């Protein structure tokens, strides 16, 4: 049992904004009170206390990330090193940290829950193995489906009911938590060397199915299945100048359905080409503000090294042609694809400067912090361990203006960031880094400090330099265990995985089995991840 006393509590989900209160912990949960001589007390006088961070969109495990790790030995050489010790396993940090290092880096920054945002079902087993080796943090995963040819065939045939059962079966087969749509139709078209750039045009290889249909059908199915997290969507035309129209059209298609718009920064550009690219954050934010059915994460970029990893294989081929650097491409049979391109965002590059501004603009222009969350689409826009830099930019308008002054003058006419005076408060930071994403993920025990919540808590020394403050929490508690103390990792606990089991008609397996025998390289029986493989998973039955 444990009591945190004297700290200023920022628990926006329970309406607590900087009041000095005690937080009591027993059995890994927050409780009303603890008594007795065996209660340990943490004196947090003068410190800031928040619920543990929740990352709604990150890439920390799986075949694609491993491919990226293997492709970038140059990043590992200069990365932070974790030396084997009685507490820690060896590993490296950097742009694509190793599994154990990922857990240490996230929890060392006060994050206790992460959502792996792109899992092909065929490599789900591997992803879960890696997530198990990612300690301390709790994990969930989104399953890639918007280019699954079995599903697209069903949409083509108008068999919505069966599609619903197949989708539900696939979520359970992958032991996933949510459903991800990446460049709907575009990755399926990539297998013909094409892309899906127009939402209303049939996907290559189909006569009826369009990206719009895929988006609308999948969002509707996810809602009908009552998945805790809505459809997690990566729009078509990611990263392209002028893609704002596609993004607005996607959001319009989603009218009346829940959806989470991933890494919105990459989808809010105007202009016709790379020479005229400009920010359209204001247009996206206006539309978004008026549509409460949507949530989004920023996908902000920071200048420096990154590795772009996405199922959006056609985009990665284009990025490879732009950079002339190395490129990795994976084909995942009938389900999806994947591309990897190491990338450096440069402060003196006009396109990169616009991208940098768009991420911050979206965070500042979207009014409701409960609907926009802090991410960098790690490791695509920047590494997750650089979140504190973004927090400082959000909380300090003067520092932001100083940073804007360093941008190339050409970029200044293409952005609106200089006109924005808004500064985030600590309470709003608690929302965009924890309470908001926990709510959007549908995790009622995460992101707050009310009785019954998981005792995931981060405690910071107040510091006007918010970057330093958020980089080094004084204490981090995970499930009531003190894992970080005085800024060091003192104890490593296992994290658990969140999995949902949507209901489906069991006869769907008889529909799927022959398709597997015909089209897949592995046997139907070997396809689903066995439940026993997930140690201590938190399985939510939606039946």
Site of interaction with another protein (CB under 8 A):
71-75, 77, 325
Do 127 and 141 contact (CB within 8 A), yes or no?
A: yes
Structure tokens at 205: 């290889």
Q: How far is the CB of 76 from another protein (least distance, A)?
A: 8
User: Which residues lie closer than 8 Å to 421 by C-beta, 6 or more apart?
Assistant: 397
Give the residue among 166, 144, 473 at the shortest CA–CA distance from 309.
Answer: 144
Core vs surface per residue 360-382: b (16+ CB within 10 A) or e? bbbbbbbeebbbbbbbbbbbbbb
Query: Cβ closer to another protein: 326 or 405?
Result: 326
Structure tokens at 172: 């359970």
Residue 509, beta-bridge partner list: none
Query: Cβ closer to another protein: 74 or 161?
Result: 74
Q: How far is the CB of 379 from another protein (least distance, A)?
A: 15
SS3 483: strand
DSSP secondary structure string, 89-141? --EE-SSS--HHHHHHHHHHTTEEEEEEEEE-GGGHHHHHHHHHTS-SSEEEE
Do 280 and 309 contact (CB within 8 A), yes or no?
A: no
Q: How far is the CB of 325 from another protein (least distance, A)?
A: 7
Distances, alpha carbon 506 to alpha carbons 178, 217, 222, in Å: 20, 21, 18
Query: Cβ closer to another protein: 304 or 408?
Result: 304
Query: Cβ closer to another protein: 297 or 305?
Result: 305
Query: Cβ closer to another protein: 15 or 73?
Result: 73
Q: How far is the CB of 88 from another protein (least distance, A)?
A: 16
CA–CA separation, 32 vs 22, rounded Å?
9
Query: Cβ closer to another protein: 37 or 324?
Result: 324
Q: How far is the CB of 238 from another protein (least distance, A)?
A: 25
Query: Cβ closer to another protein: 208 or 325?
Result: 325
Q: Answer positive or negative: Cα dihedral of 300, 304, 310, 314.
A: positive
Q: How far is the CB of 75 from another protein (least distance, A)?
A: 8
CA–CA separation, 74 vs 76, rounded Å?
6
Q: How far is the CB of 266 from another protein (least distance, A)?
A: 25
Query: Cβ closer to another protein: 73 or 193?
Result: 73
Q: How far is the CB of 103 from another protein (least distance, A)?
A: 24
């Amino acid at each position: 049992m444990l009591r945190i006393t004297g700290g200023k509590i920022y628990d926006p989900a329970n309406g607590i904004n900087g009041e000095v209160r005690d937080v009591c912990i027993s059995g890994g949960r927050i409780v009303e009170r603890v008594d007795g001589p065996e209660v340990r007390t943490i004196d947090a006088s003068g410190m800031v206390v928040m619920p543990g961070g929740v990352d709604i969109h990150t890439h920390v495990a799986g075949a694609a990330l491993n491919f990226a790790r293997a492709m970038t030995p140059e990043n590992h050489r200069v990365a932070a090193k974790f030396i084997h010790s009685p507490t820690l396993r060896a590993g490296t940090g950097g742009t694509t940290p190793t599994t154990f290092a990922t857990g240490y880096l996230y929890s060392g920054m006060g994050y206790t829950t992460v959502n792996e945002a792109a899992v092909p079902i065929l490599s789900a087993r591997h992803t879960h193995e890696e997530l198990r080796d990612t300690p301390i943090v709790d994990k969930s995963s989104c399953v890639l489906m918007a280019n699954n040819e079995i599903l697209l065939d069903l949409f083509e045939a108008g068999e919505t009911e069966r599609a619903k059962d197949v989708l539900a079966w696939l979520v359970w087969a992958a032991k996933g938590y949510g459903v991800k749509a990446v460049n709907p139709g575009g990755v399926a078209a990539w297998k013909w060397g094409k892309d899906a750039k127009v939402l209303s045009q049939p996907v290559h290889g189909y006569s009826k199915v369009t990206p719009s249909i895929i988006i609308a059908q999948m969002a509707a199915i996810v809602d009908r299945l009552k998945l805790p997290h809505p459809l997690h969507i990566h729009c078509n035309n990611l990263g392209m100048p002028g893609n704002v129209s596609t993004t607005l059209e996607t959001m319009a298609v989603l009218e009346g359905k829940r959806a989470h718009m991933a890494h919105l920064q990459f989808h809010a550009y105007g202009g016709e080409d790379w020479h005229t690219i400009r920010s359209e954050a204001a247009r996206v934010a206006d539309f978004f503000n008026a549509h409460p059915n949507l949530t989004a994460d920023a996908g902000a970029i920071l200048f420096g090294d990154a590795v772009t990893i996405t199922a959006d294989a056609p985009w990665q081929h284009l990025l490879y042609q732009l950079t002339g650097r190395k490129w990795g491409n994976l084909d995942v049979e009938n389900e999806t694809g994947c591309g990897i391109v190491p990338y450096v965002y440069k402060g003196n590059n006009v396109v990169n400067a616009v991208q940098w501004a768009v991420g911050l603009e979206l965070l500042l222009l979207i009014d409701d912090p409960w609907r926009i969350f802090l991410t960098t689409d790690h490791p695509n826009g920047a590494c997750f361990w650089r979140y504190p830099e973004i927090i400082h930019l959000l909380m300090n308008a003067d520092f932001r203006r100083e940073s804007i002054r360093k941008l190339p003058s050409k970029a200044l006419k293409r952005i609106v960031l200089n006109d924005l005076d808004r500064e985030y408060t600590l309470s709003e930071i608690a929302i965009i880094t924890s309470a908001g994403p926990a709510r959007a993920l549908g995790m009622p025990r995460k992101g707050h400090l009310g009785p019954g919540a998981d005792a995931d808590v981060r405690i910071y020394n107040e510091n006007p330099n918010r970057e330093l403050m958020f980089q080094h929490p004084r204490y981090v508690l995970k499930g009531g265990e003190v894992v970080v103390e005085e800024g060091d990792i003192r104890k490593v606990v296992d994290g658990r995985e969140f999995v949902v089991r949507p209901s489906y008609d069991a006869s769907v397996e008889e529909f799927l089995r022959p398709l597997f025998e015909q089209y897949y390289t592995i046997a139907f029986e070997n396809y689903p991840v066995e439940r026993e493989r997930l140690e201590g998973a938190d399985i939510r039955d939606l039946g």
